[in-house]
Amino acid sequence: MRIITYIILSCFIAACSQSRSGGELEQALKLSGENRNALEAVLGHYKHDSLKYRASCFLIKNMPYHYSQEDYYLSPEGEKYRPDICKFKNKEELGMHCDSLTRCGYLEKHDMIYDVLSVNSSFLIKNIDLAFMAWEKPWARDVPFEVFCAYILPYRVQTEQISFLREEMMKRFLPLLDSAGVKTPLEACVALNEHLKSVVRYQDTGLPFYPTIEETYQSGISRCDGICNLGTFIMRAIGIPVAVDFTIWPKMDLGHSWCAVWNDGRFYSFGPGEDQPEVHARMFSQKRHRRPAKVYRYQFNPLHYGKISSTGGYQTFLNTPLWRDVTHEYLDKTTEFEVPILDKEKNNLHDKAYLCVHNYYEWKPLAVGSYLENGMCSFKNVVGDNIFMVADVTDNGALRYLTAPFYVSSNGEVHLFIPRSDQKFSYTFDKKKRSRNYTLHYWDVDRESFVSIPCKSSTDSTQTYEQIPENALYWLTLPERIVNQRVFFIEQDTIRRY
């Protein structure tokens, strides 16, 4: 899964850091430029309907945090072009088409279209009216106004291009629930999600762009981000309060998105068109490789208004205010722990300590921690039985590793992997791919990188190494870049892979 980097309007950061006597709504209106008349028209339209007025205020004051990610090819003649995925048989055919565009001089373009500058009054008014119609349904009537605003009212899910399909979704899917006799958001979600199995399925389209609601709806296929956006959009359109949850895998490469439905004060996770709420969370907990170390929920309103974190030139979703830590809502017990910072880095620390996992050939930030006066970093609400590294960001925008890699047990016990170069051992590894030569690496704390170890002997099915330093983090890889070549350590002659 692609992790979307959020760029907030710089003027909004400045405005919210000053005195907010006018409130977030006035700040948003100040930022809207020529679009201010349109937004004020929405407020004027609902001036005699206090609840819809509050709903419109909620949307408008949060608009500066949102944008559409418009991805397309630009032809040599300056024309925009985005391939229609419905016209291609499979991802290979579409991939070949995209390759041919590049050879012909087409350029990939990625534009940010900010909502506060572009969303018009008629779109907002229609979205608000439709959302309130859905809120009247039996399964939605007991949803509190605050929950309605956060998980039913929003006109967008994440950074997809704005969709105008809300009314169409209501006309198609509301009759299914009207006839099902459901009475709660959870019952409605289960009933609709069963139907979504025939609407959308997980499949790579081959298009190297962030999916739109229309593309996923019309083609019926997408990867997890597109499926979640469509599933959430449909659920909200018919009055089911739903959000998108996300993790970076600690025991697999890449990451994953899924959904969560609000019901009677708590959320229940599910996969749109896949796992139902009653089994989804258990599937995570029971399958070791799917057990997340951290889970975040994307919301339309920020955790703190005006609290925009500096990226230091490094792009990560952790520096934006729209993701909320919801790890504690899942089944696995969380823990907290402290880990020592390397002596050479203690006097030059930046403002954030990132907890990282090794994922697809690099260390990727998964959580933010705090520095302690005793030269330690502290992290809370993390699921253990995982391998981590702590890093901050240098002035030139690169990650700098502050600790040795380490293992955290389920109870928060920390074991540092600091290689013992004076204590070495031999080990024979089985080859998963026979007749292929692997390379064994270990993490060198001083070099801050993986260092290869010479192979002593090799057969079609095994490779033997004799100069392996004790107490190190290891990595056995093939030359080509493939997923899930995981790091590991060796304990009592047994490989423990993460």
Q: What is the mean pLDDT of the chain?
A: 93
Q: Which residue has the tokens 């349109």?
A: 38
Q: Is the pLDDT of residue 4 over 50?
A: no
Q: What is the pTM of this model?
A: 0.93
Partners of 256 in the beta sheet? 247
Domains and CATH numbers, the chain: 10-298 (no CATH), 317-416 (2.60.40), 420-497 (2.60.40)
Q: Which residue has the tokens 């391998």?
A: 387
- Look at residue 424 in the predicted model and tell me its pLDDT: 96
Q: Residue 158 CA to chain centroid, in angstroms?
A: 10
Q: Is the pLDDT of residue 22 over 60?
A: no
Q: Is the pLDDT of residue 240 over 90?
A: yes
pLDDT tens-digit map of 255-296: 999 999 999 999 999 999 999 998 999 999 999 999 999 999
Average of pLDDT values for 452-456? 96
DSSP E strands, 75-172: 80-81, 107-114
Max Cα-Cα span within the chain = 82
Q: Is the pLDDT of residue 7 over 50?
A: no
Q: How confident is the model at residue 345 (pLDDT cuts 50, 70, 90)?
A: low
- Look at residue 3 in the predicted model and tell me its pLDDT: 37
Q: Is the pLDDT of residue 307 over 60?
A: no
Angle 71-93-91 (CA atoms, 0-180°, nearest 5)?
65
Q: Which residue has the tokens 């801050």?
A: 448
Kindly state the percentage of the chain with pLDDT values over 90. 88
- Which among 174, 325, 172, 138 has a CA at the least distance from the CA of 245? 325
- Look at residue 19 in the predicted model and tell me its pLDDT: 36
Structural contact between residues 263 and 151, judged by C-beta atoms closer than 8 angstroms: no
Q: How far apart are CA 359 and CA 350, in angstroms?
A: 23
Q: How confident is the model at residue 6 (pLDDT cuts 50, 70, 90)?
A: very low
Looking at residue 87, what DSSP letter applies? G
Q: How far apart are CA 65 and CA 67, in angstroms?
A: 7
Average of pLDDT values for 391-403? 91
Q: Is the pLDDT of residue 430 over 80?
A: yes
24-63 as b/e, with b when 16 or more CB fall inside 10 Å? bbebbbebbeebeebbeebbebbeeeeebbebbbbbbbbb
